[in-house]
């Protein structure tokens, strides 16, 4: 019987259809492996023994090492927002709403998304490269022959660390961003501090905070999931690791934006 | 005893093992020789359960490991020590942490006892006082010795060596070979070694198996293999460049 994975065996007119079928099967099986990888990682989170030391190490790896870049980018994002929104609002004489506009933009949207993208570039790419190098230098094989499960050791702690650190990093990004907006709006452009923070209390409510929180948690799952998967499935040699790292960053960034739109339209 | 029967493995359309049979007796040093890219490491990966065969079986003391998964396979692996070709040391850990790692993860030994065992193993491989170094700071020969110390720290019954001396100078090759012999004499583990260090390997092997074209073409004590009439074996031992005519193979 002909197989769609060998289109050259098909009669010439049917070969494009066979090739399309083969590609489709490849994509479906890759998605299956991707899902199975996640299910296994989640399984090892709930089935003991737990690798607490590894979890602390991954929290440090993803969270602490990303702190400086999150503070820096958060501050400038808030300052840009403060400047641009102030200039726009001043055309309508509504500068008083600068505080809530900056806060809502950051808390609901820009905070979780930008923070996740920056952490992907910094810690996500490092996760892929680290696991990829472990794979090509047989360190993952070494774990296996020591009867240690690499998923339990390398992936599950990264997933838990992502869920813990992303909301915290996002909160820091939001706070620093709001202060950046304050610096520009209040200190440089002359808005009163009471107006900046007072209006914020009126317009920002709990559901806005929860929207940002759920987004941050889901990005905290997506980033380590994709980045560790790409590391585990990297090709041979330095080129294979380099390609896997690029793919991890690009795919994660796209998934963050797609998932952000989905959550933005579903959450209140 | 390890019994390999009818082992077949292909990668894509490329067959690597073509019905390989091999018996490895308990306590012996079995050295598998053969040309680079001939499937020696693939055979080793089947023995430690890192690869699954397309057909055939690998049995360790009667337990068919090719069908085992998860915890059952791990229980067999707990009897193993493996020295990888490149060492496979964890570069995020120091030398001592690398050696301590299997003990820390797989046993309930206390810190002091682990520290004692690590110190003892590092001394046995001639790396006294090197525990604090990083794998990146030590030479290739030292890395191999750390890898041997890590493989032996749990006192395994079976130790696999994947080209433990590749890329080392002749003095270091002999040093590692003597180290393996000394440790084998002391701990009496079964050793399966993949190597193409000819003729040095004949000094340490109890038996030698020659892998060619995916099958074992000769197996026996070193002297018997050296005296083999098989032209492939002779060509490999002498390092002749000309190829053996197809009719004279096996």
Question: What is the mean pLDDT, run by run of 10 residues, along chain B of 250 residues?
Answer: 94 92 95 90 94 94 89 90 92 94 91 94 88 91 90 93 85 84 90 88 92 93 92 86 58
Which of B97, B102, B148, B156 is the best mutation test for A, with the most CBs of A within 10 A? Answer: B102
> Does A145 contact B48 at a Cβ distance shorter than 8 Å?
yes
> Does A147 contact B78 at a Cβ distance shorter than 8 Å?
yes
> How distant is the alpha carbon of residue A94 from its chain centre?
35
**Cβ pair A79, A184 in contact under 8 A:** yes
Cβ-Cβ contacts under 8 Å for A156 (sequence gap 6 or more)? A41, A42, A44, A45, A51
Query: Which residues of B have a CB under 8 Å from any CB of A?
Result: 45, 48-50, 74-75, 77-78, 80, 82, 84-86, 88-91, 101-102, 105-106
Neighbours of A121 (CB within 10 A): 15
pLDDT along chain A (268 residues), means of 10: 62 85 92 95 90 93 95 97 95 91 95 97 96 95 92 95 97 97 94 90 92 96 97 93 97 96 87
pLDDT at A4: 53
* CA distance linking residue A43 with residue B27, whole number of Å: 39
Residues in chain B within 8 Å Cβ distance of A129: none
pLDDT at A1: 47
For chain A, give every domain's residue range.
52-266
> Does A141 contact B84 at a Cβ distance shorter than 8 Å?
yes
Cβ-Cβ contacts under 8 Å for A44 (sequence gap 6 or more)? A149, A151, A152, A155, A156
| Cα A166–Cα A55–Cα A258 angle in degrees, nearest 5 | 30
Helix (H) or strand (E) holding B137: none
Name the nearest CA neighbour of B190 among B31, B67, B19, B41.
Answer: B31
- Give every strand in the sheet of B14-24, ordered side by side: B14-24, B2-11, B55-60, B63-64
**Tokens matching residue B92:** 């995020």
**Tokens matching residue B80:** 């193993």
pLDDT at A18: 86
What are residue B203's phi and psi, to 5 degrees?
-75, -25
Residue carrying the six token digits 């489709």: A24
Helix (H) or strand (E) holding B198: none
| E strand map for B84-136 | none
> Does A142 contact B82 at a Cβ distance shorter than 8 Å?
yes
What are residue B121's phi and psi, to 5 degrees?
-65, -40
Residue carrying the six token digits 């010439």: A12
Q: Are strands B207-212 and B190-194 parallel, antiparallel or unpaired?
A: unpaired
The CA distances from residue B231 to B201, B215, B220, B239, B246, in Å, are 19, 15, 16, 12, 11
pLDDT at B84: 92
Name the nearest CA neighbour of A114 among A221, A263, A251, A219.
Answer: A219
- Three-state SS at B13: coil
Q: Can you state the percent helix, strand and coil of chain B, rounding each to 5? A: 40, 25, 35
Which among B50, B90, B102 has CB closest to A144?
A: B50
pLDDT at A268: 73
**Cβ pair A233, A151 in contact under 8 A:** no
């Amino acid at each position: 019987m002909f197989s769609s994975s060998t289109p050259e065996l098909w009669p010439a007119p049917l070969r494009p259809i066979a090739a399309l079928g083969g590609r489709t099967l490849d994509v479906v099986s890759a998605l299956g492996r991707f899902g199975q990888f996640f299910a296994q990682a989640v399984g090892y989170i709930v089935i003991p023994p737990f690798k607490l030391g590894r979890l602390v190490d991954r929290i440090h790896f993803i969270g602490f090492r990303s702190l400086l870049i999150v503070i820096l980018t958060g501050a400038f994002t808030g300052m840009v927002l403060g400047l641009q929104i102030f200039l726009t609002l001043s055309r309508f004489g509504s500068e008083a709403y600068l505080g809530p506009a900056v806060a809502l933009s950051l808390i609901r949207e820009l905070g979780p998304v930008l923070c996740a993208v920056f952490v992907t570039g910094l810690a996500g790419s490092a996760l892929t490269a680290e696991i990829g190098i472990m794979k090509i230098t047989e360190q993952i094989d070494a774990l296996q022959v020591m009867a240690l499960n690499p998923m339990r050791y390398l992936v599950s702690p990264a997933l838990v660390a992502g869920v813990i650190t992303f909301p915290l990093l996002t909160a820091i990004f939001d706070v620093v961003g709001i202060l950046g907006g304050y610096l520009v709006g209040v200190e440089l452009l002359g808005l009163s501090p009471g107006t900046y923070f007072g209006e914020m209390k009126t317009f920002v409510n709990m559901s806005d905070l929860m929207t940002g929180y759920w987004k941050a948690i889901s990005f905290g799952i997506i980033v380590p999931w994709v980045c560790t998967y790409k590391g585990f499935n990297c090709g041979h040699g330095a080129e294979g690791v380099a390609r896997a790292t690029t793919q991890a960053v690009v795919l994660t960034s796209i998934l963050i934006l797609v998932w952000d739109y989905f959550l933005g339209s579903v959450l209140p | 005893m390890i019994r390999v029967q009818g082992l077949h493995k292909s990668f894509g359309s490329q067959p690597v093992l073509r019905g390989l049979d091999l018996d490895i007796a308990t306590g012996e040093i079995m050295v598998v020789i053969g040309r680079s890219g001939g499937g020696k490491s693939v055979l080793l990966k089947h023995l430690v359960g890192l690869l699954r065969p397309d057909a055939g079986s690998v049995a360790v003391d009667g337990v068919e490991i090719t069908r085992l998964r998860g915890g059952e396979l791990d229980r067999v692996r707990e009897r193993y020590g493996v020295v990888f070709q490149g060492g496979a040391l964890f570069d995020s850990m120091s030398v001592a942490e690398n050696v301590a790692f299997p003990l820390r993860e797989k046993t309930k030994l206390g810190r002091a006892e682990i520290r004692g065992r690590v110190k003892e193993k590092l001394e046995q491989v001639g790396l006294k006082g090197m525990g604090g170094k990083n794998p990146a700071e030590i030479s290739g020969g030292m890395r191999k010795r750390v890898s041997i110390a890590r493989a032996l720290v749990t006192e395994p019954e079976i130790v696999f060596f994947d080209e433990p001396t590749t890329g080392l100078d002749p003095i270091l090759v002999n040093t590692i070979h003597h180290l393996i012999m000394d440790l084998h004499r002391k701990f009496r583990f079964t050793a399966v070694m993949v190597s193409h260090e000819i003729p040095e390997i004949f000094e340490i092997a109890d038996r030698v198996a020659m892998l060619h074209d995916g099958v074992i073409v000769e197996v026996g004590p070193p002297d018997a293999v050296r005296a083999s009439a098989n032209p492939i074996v002779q060509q490999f031992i002498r390092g002749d460049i000309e190829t053996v005519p197809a009719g004279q193979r096996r």
